[in-house]
Structure 1
C-alpha cells in the first residue's frame, strides 16, 4: 500500500489560544464596566427624582417665599413708590420743615394710619380733599379701596393723570362758609325728612347732602372717612359743612362689611365751622380723641327709624365764621 506522503500536520501553538482568550476577556470586562456605570447612573438619577417628587410642598413654598423676601429685584407697589418719591421731593424742597404749610403733623398722620391698620388688610377709605398726604393715604391702603373727592376738577384730572389707577372725583359744592348758620338751621328743621341721619343721599334734597357722586359711592361700607377739604378758611369758600354732614350720614347708613363702626376724621377741627358741624352731625359722645388740629370720631350704624344725629343737640355759633389757624392749612395743590 502506497502511503500518502503529502499529509500535513497542523499544530496550534498554545500562545495563540491564550492571546485570543485574553482578548475576549478584556472585551467582556470592558463591556461589563460600562454597563454597570450606566446602570448606576440611571439608578441614582431615578432615586433623586423620586425623592424630590415626594418632598412636602410646604418646604418648597417656604424656600420660594424666602427667596422672594430677600430678592432685591422685587418691585415696590406703584402707590408706595409714588409716595416715597413725593415725600422725598418735599423733604428736599423744604429746609427743616420750614414753609411746609398744609402738611399734617406726624401725630395726626399716625392717628389716621392706626385706624387704617385696624381694618387692615383692606379698608374702604373715603377722603374729602386732595392734599400733600393724598399719596400717603393711597399707599397706606394700597390693598383696599381709596376714593378722593375734591372741589377742583382741574386738580382731580391732573392727579389721576399723574397717578394712574387712583380713583378721584370732583364735587360741585353749592355752599359757602358765610351761610353756615342758615344751612345748619335748615338741616335741623328737616332732620326727620330730607336731612335725616339714615338715608341714601343719592335721592336726597337736603342742602347739606352731597348727592351728585357716582352711584357706587353711596353703596360702599366706608371704614374710614377723612374730611380735609374743601377750602373753609374764608367766607366765600365752600366750607366743610356738606362734607361733615355727608360723612355722618354715610357712617350711620352703612350696610354690609364686617365692621359696623366708621372712623371719621375732621382736620382743622379747631375752626368754628368744623367744630360746630362736627358737634351737630358727628356728636361729642362719639369723639374719641383730638390730636393737634385733628378730631377723631367713631360712629356706629343707626336704625332707619332714628331721626336724631346726637343724644343732645347743643350747637351754638357766632354770626361770622372764625378762621382760627393758618389760612394755608388746607387745600394745598398736590404734586
Structure 2
C-alpha cells in the first residue's frame, strides 16, 4: 500500500510540476505566433506602400515622357494647306441635301486660314459643316448657337469637343418690314449699333446667350441658321442684327469682323444684311453666300450704314 501511495504521490508531483510548464509553453507559442503575424503584417504594409509609390512614380514618369513640350509658336501653327483642301473636298462631296458647295466653303476657309490664331469664330446654326468649322479653326475658339436645345445637347454629347448653346428666337419672317422699322425707330436707344446686347431690350438683338459670348472679340461670324422657309419661321434677322452689333462693339483685335451670311439669294437674308451689315461692307457675294467685313465703331455712333438706303420698301 505504501508503494502504491508513493507511486501515486510521485505521479501527483509530476503532474504538479508539468502543468505550469505546459501553460508557459503555450503562452510562448502564442507570443511567437503574434510576433510573426505582426512582422508579416508590417512587411506586407510596407511592401504595399512601396509598390504604390513606385507605380505612381512610374505613371507620372510615363505621362511626363508622353507629353512633348510645345512652344506657343507651335501651339498656334495653322493647319497645312493640304489638310484644309482635303477637309473641303470631302465636306463638299457629302450626300447631305443642305451641304455647302466647294465654292461656298472656300472663301470661309480662306478667311479662317489667314485669321491669326487663336481665332474667335461664332457660328449661328448646327449644320452639316459644324465639325468642319471646328477643324478649320484649329487652335482657335469656336462657339455654335442653335435654336433646338435638344439637338444642341445631342451634338455636344456626340462630339464633346463642340461648344454649342441653344437660343430662343422671337421673330417671324412675316414680320420683316415691321421689325426693320422698329430697329430704325430705336436706333438711338435700344437698337443702337454699339452696345452690350446682354443688357438690351431691342427685339432684334439676342440677349439670352451665355454671358461670355458678349465678352469675346469675334473675328469671324457665320450666320447659317435658323430656318426661314415659311411665314412663322424665325428667319435670320436676329442673328444678322446681333452679328452686326457684336462686330461694331468689338473692343480688341484688329477692329474688323468677317461676317458670312448663308442662303444669300433669299430676300430676307440679303435685305437684313443690307440693313444691318451694309452694302458698303459687302466684299464678296454669290447666290448662296454673302461676305461682309464690318469695322468697329465709336460708342457715339447711331447709324449702322454710312450710305443709308431704304430696304423696307424693296
Does residue 314 of structure 1 match 2:309?
A: yes
Does 2:189 align with 1:196?
no
1:292 to partner: Cα distance:
3.9
Other-structure match for 2:265:
270
Q: Equivalent residue of 2:144, what SS?
A: strand
The one of 249, 265, 271 aligned to 1:253 = 249
TM value normalised by structure 1? 0.65
Q: Which residue of 1 aligns with 2:110?
A: 114
Matched, 1:177 2:173: yes
Measure the CA separation in 2 of the matches of 1:121 and 1:206: 33
Residues paired across the two proteins, number:
232
2:129 to 119, 127, 133: 133
Offset of residue 245 of structure 1: 0.2
Tell me which of 220, 223, 240 is aligned to 1:224.
Answer: 220
Q: Is the 8 A contact 2:227 2:236 kept in 1?
A: yes
Q: Which residue in the other structure is 2:283 paired with?
A: 288
Q: Secondary structure at the match of 2:284?
A: strand
CA distance in 1, matches of 2:313, 2:132: 36
Q: Please tell me whether the aligned partners of residues 280 and 309 of structure 1 are also in contact (alpha carbons under 8 angstroms).
A: yes
After TM superposition, list the pairs within 5 Å mapping 1:1-335 onto structure 2.
91=94, 94=95, 100-257=96-253, 259-317=254-312
State the shift of 1:107 in Å: 1.2
Cα deviation for residue 154 of structure 1 reads: 1.1
The whole-number CA distance in structure 1 between the counterparts of 2:214 and 2:205 is 12
Q: How big is the shift at 1:318? A: 6.3
More deviation, 280-289/309-318: 309-318
Greater RCO (CA < 8 Å, at least 6 residues apart): 1
- Aligned counterpart, 1:19: none
Partner Cα distance (1:101, 1:314) in 2: 35
Q: How much does 1:117 deviate?
A: 1.2
Q: Does the residue aligned with 1:297 lie in a helix, a strand or coil?
A: strand
Is residue 274–residue 311 contact of structure 2 (8 Å, CA) maintained in 1?
no
Q: Which runs of 4+ in 1 moved over 2 A?
A: 315-319
Gaps of 5+ in 1: 1-63, 66-75, 95-99, 320-335
Secondary structure of the equivalent of 1:307?
coil
Structure 2: gaps spanning 5 or more residues: 1-68, 71-78
Q: Secondary structure at the match of 1:192?
A: coil
Asked if the contact 1:232–1:238 (Cα under 8 Å) also holds between the matched residues in 2, the reply is yes
The normalised TM-score by structure 2 is: 0.70
Q: Is the 8 A contact 1:251 1:300 kept in 2?
A: yes
Asked if 2 retains the 8 angstrom alpha-carbon contact of 1:108 and 1:292, the reply is: no
